[in-house]
Amino acid sequence: MAGFAVMIENVDSSTVLGSQIPLNKLVAKVGTAQYEPEQFPGIIYRLTDPRAASLIFSSGKIFCTGTKSIEDARKAVSKVVEKVRKTGIKVPRSYIVARSKSWIRQRCFAAHARHQNRSFKVHRPPL
């Protein structure tokens, strides 16, 4: 059986806070956030530890990308939620959904492993 390696390059995570976030108030209290509502409807907030970028929307949805593990994704989203709480915005208990972008590769490798010992017939239509 041929060996292969699966490498996780990026983990995306998201959470829904369940309450509206006043973006103007948040960006005024968080100095490092970028908010240009004419170009993009959310705040772009970058973290350095763990290294990640978060998109915060007024609906209460937060998307985080750029982490290398699920643990780092959880830390990043937790830091963003804590930052939102510290600005005085009431945030109910939230949950985090994490997924890996490598699922396509994993499925391809699994399909290859299932069919490795089978012979395939190639059908070529006549010209």
**Residue 38 clears pLDDT 90, i.e. is over it:** yes
Delineate the domains of the chain, giving CATH numbers in brackets.
Answer: 11-115 (3.30.310.10)
Give the whole-angstrom CA distance, residue 85 versus residue 114.
48
pLDDT, one tens digit per residue, over 78-121 is 899 888 888 888 777 655 554 444 444 444 444 444 444 444 44
**Residue 56 clears pLDDT 90, i.e. is over it:** yes
10 Å CB burial of residue 61 (0-12, 13-18, 19+) is: middle
- Phi, psi dihedral angles at 89 (to 5 degrees): -85, 130
Of 26-30, 33-37, 76-80, 89-93, minimum mean pLDDT range: 89-93
Statement: the pTM of the whole predicted model exceeds 0.75: no
Q: Measured in Å, how far apart are the chain's first and last C-alpha atoms?
A: 36
